[in-house]
Amino acid sequence: MKIAIINGSPRGKNSNTRLLLEQFIAGLEKGNPAVEHDTFYLVNRHQTQDAIDCCLQGDVILMAFPLYTDAMPGIVKLFFEKLTLLKGKKIGYMLQSGFPEAIHCFYLEKYLEKFTRRLGASYLGTVSKGNVEGIQDRPAWMNKGLFSNFRRLGLHFAKTGELDEKIISKLKRPLRLPKISTFFFSLFASAEIFNYGWVQLLKAKGAYEVRHARPYQMKIGIA
């Protein structure tokens, strides 16, 4: 079995997508050391044609990328538009996002399934995981369960050629946050601790003091 692994994150090798794929590959290699796999980064445009060639020559394609405001990154869409018919191939997907609820991936999952059918390929399923943003800043024990599930996915895939539906279901939790959770989130949404990453980025760019600026707001009452 030969697998083309496509990382569609605009962050490339600095991405959370890479960290999750590394765990999947670790399980894959443990389950079947004979499996061939090549990883390509779409953010490196010079790899695009090599990635397409590998998709055409291999047996399985695994597309992994983050959710950007409920949609795929532009580089992923561009890559999809370059693909031709892939009859006889199997395609699986891994989506991750910073949103805590996996429901945000729902519509994109439906699109990916339909897109796979249009290419004439077999749809292996979509792994969706929320609350991934920030895993690079977390202590190892906080990522232990997450990484373990992705290694188990790879292990299962190496042995069966399928994505484990039980693990996929587990990773989708929570599909929606309980109402009590959303209530408390709304109460503390203005606290900087909930926007720690954004606050640090604003300060690093010298934009923190003007974060509430509205330069394009219409000025009313000025002649």
- DSSP sequence for the chain: -EEEEEE--TTGGGSHHHHHHHHHHHHHHHH-TT-EEEEEETTSGGGHHHHHHHHHHSSEEEEEEE-BTTB--HHHHHHHHH----TT-EEEEEEE-SSS-GGGGHHHHHHHHHHHHHTTPEEEEEEEE-S-TTGGGS-HHHHHHHHHHHHHHHHHHHHHSS--HHHHHHHT--SS--HHHHHHHHHHTTSGGGGHHHHHHHHHTT-GGGTT--TTS--TT--
Q: Is the pLDDT of residue 18 over 60?
A: yes
CB of 3 closer than 8 Å to CB of 154? no
Calculate the CA 149 to chain-centre distance. 15
Report whether pLDDT(75) > 80: yes
Task: Say what the pLDDT of residue 173 is.
Answer: 86
Confidence bin at 183 (pLDDT 50/70/90) = low
Domain with CATH 3.40.50.360 in the chain: 2-171
Residue 62's nearest CA partner among 136, 151, 130, 154 is 154
In the chain, the percentage of residues whose pLDDT exceeds 90 is: 72
Stretch among 2-16, 118-132, 178-192 having the lowest mean pLDDT:
178-192
Under the banding of pLDDT at 50, 70 and 90, the label for residue 185 is low
| Distance (Å) of CA 137 to CA 23, 110, 173 | 17, 31, 21
The overall pTM is greater than 0.95: no
Question: In the predicted model, is pLDDT for residue 222 greater than 60?
Answer: no
Of all residues in the chain, the percent with pLDDT exceeding 70 is: 90
Q: What is the CATH number of domain 2-171?
A: 3.40.50.360
Mean pLDDT of 43-70: 94
